[in-house]
Amino acid sequence: MAEETARRATAAARGTTDDGEKQSPALARGNMEGLIRANQALVDSTSELGRAWLVCWQEQFVEGMALTREVLERQGTFVRSSLERLNAQATRSAEVTSGMVDGYFAPLRESADKATERATRPAS
């Protein structure tokens, strides 16, 4: 069955009948013109398909770029708010640390001041 179909397709492509008879030149020219039209239709449909794919990919690219911009804007907003919170926490932490250091060194300063006063007081 497949061999028969292949033989018929080959014969049709060669422009001969299944019996091996030669076709007239006018009939062969008609077949050639038909093949030319068929090839032209194939090329045209391929071009249309290519244009359709191009339009599809351009739309996908534009939508992807818009989505990327939106994601980057949201990420920028998140990063900005995170940095502001981090800065506020670092400021509070520095204030607490400064208070702790002052609280630790204040008694030492007072005792150092007293020791300095005692050392610099004239002996009575």
User: What span, in angstroms and rounded, lies between the C-alpha atoms of 79 and 73?
Assistant: 10
For residues 17 and 23, is the Cβ–Cβ distance under 8 A? yes
CA 29 to chain CA centroid, nearest Å = 54
Give first-to-last CA distance, the chain, whole Å: 134
Domain boundaries, the chain: 21-119
With a pLDDT cut of 90, the percent of the chain lying above it is: 37
User: What span, in angstroms and rounded, lies between the C-alpha atoms of 114 and 107?
Assistant: 11
Tens digits of residue pLDDT in 100-123: 888 888 888 888 888 888 878 776
Tens digits of residue pLDDT in 56-70: 999 999 999 999 999
User: In terms of pTM, does the model score above 0.95?
Assistant: no
Tens digits of residue pLDDT in 27-37: 556 677 777 77
